[in-house]
Each structure stands twice: as C-alpha cells, then as structure tokens.
Amino acid sequence: MFIPKEYHLTQSFIARFLARWHFKTFNDLIEASINNPEWFYTEMAKELNLTFHTPFSKIEDLSRGWQFPQYFSGAVFNVAYDAVIKKAELTAENIALISEKENGTVTTLTYREFAREVEKAAQVLNYLGITKGERVAIYLPMIKEAPLFLLALAYLGAVAVPVFSGYGVDAVRERVILSGAKLLITADGFSRRGQKVPLLNTALAAVEGLNTPVLAIQNVGGENLEQKPNNVYWYHDLREKAITTVPWAQTLTEDPLLIIYTSGTTGKPKGTLHPHIGFPVKNAIDMLFAFDITPQDRVFWVTDLGWMMGPWLIYGTLLIGGTVVLYEGSPDYPRKSRLWELIDKHKITVLGLSPTLIRHFMTFSDSEPDNFSLESLRVLGSTGEPWTEEAWQWFFTKVGKSKLPIINYSGGTEISGGILASFPIHSIPPCAFTGVLPGISADVVDEQGNPVKGQVGELVIKRPWNGITRGFFNEPDRYFNTYFSRFGPDLWAHGDWAKIDEKGYWYILGRSDDTIKVAGKRLGPAEVENIVNALPEVTESAAFGVPHPVKGEALVVVAVAASQELSKAELSRKIKEEISQKLSKALSPEEVVIVKALPKTRNGKILRRLIRESYLGEVKGDTSSLENPTTLEEIQKERRE
C-alpha cells in the first residue's frame, strides 16, 4: 500500500490547508466544508483567485430547493477569463498546453499564445454567428483545438457540447439534435494506430438534413479543399476573414457553460447542464485537495473530450495555472511503450488513466515501465471503474515505483468530478478510496435509506455542492426522477454499490442500476437496444454488461429474431456490425445471443438483471414475477461456452 512521505504530510495542498485552519483530522475538514459552505467556497474562491467582476448576492442560494442550488449568485464570472485571459497577463510565459500527435509532431503554447488562439477562435465563431447562450457541439480528438474551442465558446458565453470522437453517425446526430446545436466543430480526421479516422465524413453524415453548419480543422490533410459541401467551413480559411475583435462575454456565475451527454439505463442520453461557476470550479477544487496539482504541474489524462475527464483535465488544470498535456493517438502505438515515452519526453508530473488501460498494458511483455525513468511523475490517478488488486499493484510498483500515491477517484458527469477520492496524506490500500471530497456529504445506505457500515449499500449524497448538474437540458422532470425518486427528495441516489469498511476505507463495487461501463465509458442499455431493435430482423433485445478481464465490463446483447431468414450466426454478426457502425467499434458487443423470447414480468417489463444473471449462470434474483421463466434456461443454453 502507499504510505505518505514527509512531503505529503507537510507540503501537499491538503496538508497545508489542514494546518492553516487548525483542523486536527481530515474528517474535521470534511465536516466544516459540509456544514459551513459559505466559509468553504469563500476560501476556494481565494485559493483559485477567482474574479467576480460584479459582487455576488449570496454564496449558496437554496431558495429553489437543494436539488437546484445556485452559487455566488448574480456575480459576473467567465471561466475563459479566469483560466486563460487573466493567466496571459499574470503568467504569460508559463506553458499552458503541450499537444503531441501520433506521428510525433509536438505543439507547445504559452498562456499568452494560448490566449491569442482562444481569442482568434472566438472571432471565427462570432463570424459564423455564434452568440451567447447558443449550443455548439465539439466532435474532436484530443488535439490542441479541443481545449481551444472549449475555452473560446466560454469566452463568447456560448455552450459547449463535447461529443466522444469515437462515436458513429447516429450517436453524433442524436447529440446534435438533443442539444439544438447551431454548429458542429470537427476535424478532417485523426490518426489511430497509423490509420486515418475520417472524422469529417462522419460529421457530415450526422448533420445531413439538419441545416447545421460544420467548422472543420485541417488536422491530417489530404482533403480536396476545393470540393466541399456548402455547409462546411475550414477553420484556417476563416482565420483570415474573421478580424473583428470580440470582447469576452459578461456571463453570470450560473449562466450555462457546458452540456455533457451521459448514458442512463433507460431512454435517450441525459444532457447534464453545467454553469461557469460549477463544473470548472469543482474540477479545480478536486485537483487541489486530492491530486495536489500546482501551477508547476504537467497533467496528462488518457481520455477524450466527450467523456467528463476531458473537460475536467482542461478546465481544472488551466484554472490552477498548470500545463495540460494532450496526446492524439493510441497510447500503445507505434510502440507498446509509447505512454512511458510520453511521460519522460514531456516531464509529465500527474498521470491519470483507467484500470482497463493498465490491465491492457499488463499483457505486454515488451513494454515494461522499468525501462523508463518516469522520474518526473509524482501523482498517479485513476477513474472510470473499480480496480482489481493485481492491476492496482502493477500500476503502483511498475509505474509508481512503490512510492507514488494512486488517487482513486470516483463520481460522475453529473457531479462535475468526484464524490470519493484517495488523498496523499493518507495510507492508501489497494483499490480503496480514503474518504469523500471536501464539499461532498456522502454516505452508504440500505434499501430504506438508513446509513450502514461494513456492508454493501447504495452510495448517496445528502446535501448540495457547487458542481451539481443544474438539471438535464430540456428535461427537468427526468433529472429529478433519476436521482431523487429512489429515497425521496433529500437523498441523491448515485447508482453505485459502495461499502465503508471497519477502518473507514470506501470501496465502489459496481453499478446498482443497469448502466454499462465498457473500459470506463458509460453506456446506457437503451442506446444499444434502440439500434438493435431498429433492425427488421430483430423483434426486441436487452443489453447488459458482464465482467471482462481487460475492459472491466464487456457489452452483451440478447436478441429475439423476427424470422428465421438469417442464421443465428449471421444475425449475431449483423447486430455487432450495426452497433460498431452507429456507436463505436470500441463499444462492439463481446457476444450476441439469439433467443426465442426475453424474460418479462406479467406487465411486459424486460428484466435485464435476470437476463444478465442467467447469462452468467447464477440466477439470484426473484423469478416469481416472471411470465416466462423458461427463457432463462434458453439464455444459459444459447450463450457461448
């Protein structure tokens, strides 16, 4: 396990904060942050040197109920100003961004240079008619333009809608439509394992018939720039035309900044809505307390802009004044050691990734981290899914040299960061969280909502925090029903099984709802089932996750054939291809099982949990409500041995 050193106990941010406020224990800090939010958020605003251009009326306003709080109400605050424009004046020559492409090309921008690029991007967006409050989808890989446009939209007061760069046509189109995006920003393509991914082609197919213009970045070249659809604008062309100076928008703290779509168990993706004072500030607070990030740090997280950790990396690091490190390609290409090379080359100090990636690297005998210095590293991070002890120990010993803390971090898009974390002042056992994050009032409860210790229960939150999503975009009732219907309006049910052991360590034990996590990427069953059920050869289907040694969870689909025209093997193959094309190859099912019927209750509800248990060969749930219990036996019979 990790044992804190003298530095961690005396010089880390959390250690110094505890000492300055004379807190005797970590729990004293947590209690103060929960019970006195005015003090806590005032201090956080000071620590981050936040600029309120007009005074706020109240730090925490719960007049609409704690499910819909407001923070620093009424003040003018723009995160692009604080993260970029002000930094360009105060720390102009500090490095804001290091971006490396798969081919080895590196771009480095100081805060002054980055600010100029953000202002130019804002000019281009303004030239295209984007104004305050309008939504713009960003469908980009982790290239320098990803943070550039994320901040340029904030600069204008527009709302960014990040979209996973691995999504197919249907998934991109759905998010453009749901958000009402006025523009889709993409690139001509990007490199993945030496192959060009034609991102622009996917983007154009996604907006076909929507009257949505596309702003394209020339990232890989090779496009015929003379022959393009009328709705495509090339960014490098408009840079020359857009010359009108645009001032940064006088946004209020609670003005919308970001909509991140996240998958749930039913229905279409949920658009979590976040304001300027919410998501970025929560990111930075977590970075300070858990990851000990400073302006001297170079932070690299293996993620995508479409997942929460992409914007988290960018907003939080820039607000603190550190350096964001991006990499466009696969971390094991063209050599299995590419990730370790990146660390040494760019002197990365904080490395974050998913347990899935570590399990992936563990299969390579020729990519030992032992062959690299990695001496710049001082903090390791992980999120997305539970660890296995074997993978945790490999990361700790091989990469961390048995001396660096692994900051286990868990929360969600709707949280704007973490609920639980490990902290560098604590001894950290494998796979554990050492406590809740400051500002978060979390607990584990039983089925009646009563707190429990030493047994598995539901992870809940008991009071508001500044990063709470301000609801689902255009779906206020769905937001309330998702988080506050399980135990009533006073407990946020997060949807995770959790446990607090006798020593006070926390553990996340998987989802308590039907959400699937493939390699840390959240996937709703409905997203998969809607694609499968649209096939004329399929009557209905059920999607669920099963344990996987590398991915953590793998997707499995059980489908009912509409006819016998295709063999089971042919239909299975067609379903896999359809999901790969419309969602992502990375989300392709591990297996598709074709059966005659799905297990249902008498009122027609499909019981995914029983389907999953039957597939795994261990039915534990109550089957008394089933109308057709023999279907469980068929699933067991038809599944691949």
pLDDT of 637: 87
What integer best gives the mean pLDDT of the chain? Answer: 92
Sheet order of strands, 591-595 included: 538-548, 552-561, 591-595
pTM: 0.86
Residue that wins the pLDDT comparison between 321 and 628: 321
Of 226-230, 383-387, 529-533, 545-549, the least confident: 226-230
Q: What is the pLDDT of residue 440?
A: 98
Residue 533: band (very low, low, confident or very high) from pLDDT cuts 50, 70, 90: confident
Q: Does the pLDDT of residue 368 top 90, yes or no?
A: no
Q: Give the domain ranges of the chain.
A: 516-638
pLDDT above 60: residue 224: no
**Tally of CB atoms within 10 A around 488:** 9
| pLDDT > 80? residue 487 | yes
Quickly state the pLDDT bin for 609 (edges 50, 70, 90).
Answer: confident
The CATH architecture that domain 516-638 belongs to is: 2-Layer Sandwich (3.30)
Summarize pLDDT for 63-77 with one digit per residue, the tens. 999 999 999 999 999
169 Cβ contact list (under 8 Å, min separation 6): 202, 205, 206, 581, 582
Model confidence at 274: pLDDT above 80: yes
Q: Could you tell me the pLDDT band of residue 118, with boundaries at 50, 70 and 90?
A: very high
- Contact in structure between 558 and 598 (CB atoms under 8 Å): yes
Mean pLDDT of the 595-609 span: 73
Percent of the residues in the chain that have a pLDDT greater than 70, as a whole number: 95
Backbone phi, then psi, for 299, in 5-degree steps? -110, 125
Is 70 exceeded by the pLDDT of residue 518? yes
Among 250-254, 360-364, 377-381, the minimum mean pLDDT is found in: 360-364
- The tokens describing 452, both together, are 């429990």
Asked whether the predicted pLDDT for residue 384 surpasses 90, the reply is: no
- Residues 99-103, mean pLDDT to the nearest whole number: 96
Indicate whether 522 pLDDT > 80: no
Q: Report whether pLDDT(181) > 80.
A: yes
Average pLDDT estimate for 480-507: 92
Residue 89 backbone zone (phi > 0: left; psi -120 to 50: alpha; other: beta): alpha
Continuous H helices in 377-430: 389-394
Per-residue confidence (pLDDT) for residue 585, from 0 to 100: 87
